[in-house]
Amino acid sequence: MATSLKNLSDYDIQSVANAKDMKFGIVVAEWNTEITEALYQGAYDTLIKHGALEENILKKYVPGTFELTLGAQLVAEKTDVDAIMVLGCVIQGETRHFDFICHGVTQGITDLNLNYNKPFIVGVLTTDNQQQALDRAGGKHGNKGDEAAFTAIKMVNLSRSLD
């Protein structure tokens, strides 16, 4: 929850497993690149902090946030990653385009989680303006990329604990 009451980068570091033997895919939208690259850096740094090996982190780009769903599906089908994070940013404009993109991505990623039985983690900012996005991409509200990364680790660990 990105509010003044919760920082996206705050979590109990002890509650996150070592990620040394985990593989991650990160699909990054090229639209709003200043924001999405900051989200990626947060995710990458958090994975490394928890022991993930650089060679086990795959980064792929898609043109925009709407394309994250198919990009994530392709990564799931063509690689052996344990979890996939999607990072994007949709900023409210004057039309309903915002609503359609956000709904499509949310539903698409939900479907991927259920159809592939693999963690697909949403790291998509949906903000009213550029400043709100900056505040959540390493600014005063932390970094949604950090949150995506520690969530991915936790979900892989959960899956493995049930095997």
Which residues span the domain enclosing 86? 22-161
Q: What is the 3-state secondary structure (H, E, C) of 108-163?
A: HHHHHHHHHCCCEEEEEEEECCHHHHHHCEEECCEEHHHHHHHHHHHHHHHHHHCC
Does 50 participate in catalysis according to the annotation?
no
Residue 150 falls inside a structural domain: yes
Residue 4 falls inside a structural domain: no
Q: Give the separation between CA 15 and CA 38, rounded to whole angstroms.
A: 24
Phi-psi region of 62 (alpha: psi -120 to 50; beta: other; left: phi over 0): beta
pLDDT band at 122 (very low <50, low <70, confident <90, very high): very high
Residue 11 falls inside a structural domain: no
pLDDT value of residue 2: 43
Residue 121 falls inside a structural domain: yes
Give this prediction's pTM: 0.95
CATH number of the domain that residue 147 is part of: 3.40.50.960
Name the domain count of the chain: 1
Mean pLDDT of 39-66: 98
Catalytic residue among 50, 97, 103, 141: 97
Residue 95 falls inside a structural domain: yes
Q: Give the separation between CA 101 and CA 21, rounded to whole angstroms.
A: 34
Residue 2 falls inside a structural domain: no
Residue 125 falls inside a structural domain: yes
pLDDT value of residue 46: 98
pLDDT band at 4 (very low <50, low <70, confident <90, very high): low
Residue 10 falls inside a structural domain: no
What percent of the chain clears pLDDT 70, i.e. is strictly above it? 98
pLDDT band at 1 (very low <50, low <70, confident <90, very high): very low
